[in-house]
Amino acid sequence: MTKGAVLILGGRSDMGLAIAHAFAAEGHPIQLAARGSAGLEADRADLALRHSVAVSLHDFDVLDTAGHEGFIDALPALPEVVVCAVGAMGDQAADEHDIPAAVTVMRTNFEGPAAILAAFANRFEARRSGTIVGISSVAGERGRATNYIYGSAKAGFTAFLSGLRNRLAGKGVHVVTVLPGFVATRMTAGMDLPAKLTAQPSEVGRAVLRAVKTRRNVIYVRPIWQVIMAVIRNIPEGVFKGMKI
């Protein structure tokens, strides 16, 4: 049986590529989308050779929301699964005083991803099949002084995915929210991350594949994060505002 194509938005990211490999290993054709996608030719060739699947490259700018419908129209086929792995951490301290930079972080992590997935949701709903996967973040579960610009955008994205899942229930379309926690990627390079709480990109890839297969709704790549965030969410505000976490 022919397996449906999987589109990776943010195909240059470490997590995006790891997710692509996980699905390609199962025989799914892969569509890699990113800005300057021609620069992904080596990755395209590696995926195709290693897993014996068709792999195509597609230019995509998540901030060009006016161009999203045209981007979908230009795909060789409407995918069966779309994964949004687009994201940008930004620099909290600098962005507090650089409002345009802060806006870009928020648009990159919420507005753009929500817009493109909304467009796919409408097409999947009309077809009555498909899976939407959004890579959000535990940073969105409570605003913290150290990353509230990024975290607030991810909070919005998590809420968007929840509403989308609710809307599409019973219409043949499933929505998965992925909360990775710390992941050892280029985006977190130089950060002092605790090993027991830090996943590898390949771990994220396997977790996403399992979630799609088993139709999970919300997953924490490492389950310990569900416990950690439950504790953080329940700290009284009067105590929390004096903490540095």
| Residues marked as catalytic | 150
Strand partners, 220: 179
DSSP H helical ranges for the chain: 14-24, 41-51, 68-74, 92-95, 99-106, 112-127, 148-168, 201-214, 224-233, 237-240
Q: Which of 201-205's residues contact partners 24+ apart within 8 Å by CB, and which partners?
A: 201/14, 201/15, 201/17, 201/18, 202/18, 202/21, 202/22, 204/15, 204/18, 204/19, 204/135, 204/178, 204/180, 205/15, 205/18, 205/19, 205/20, 205/21, 205/22
Measured from the Cβ of residue 21, the count of other Cβ atoms closer than 10 Å reads: 20
User: Between helices 148-168 and 99-106, what is the axis angle to 10°?
Assistant: 30
CB-based contacts of 26, cutoff 8 Å, min separation 6? 3, 209
DSSP string over 71-126: HHHHSSS--SEEEE-------HHHHTT-HHHHHHHHIIIIIHHHHHHHHHHHHHHH
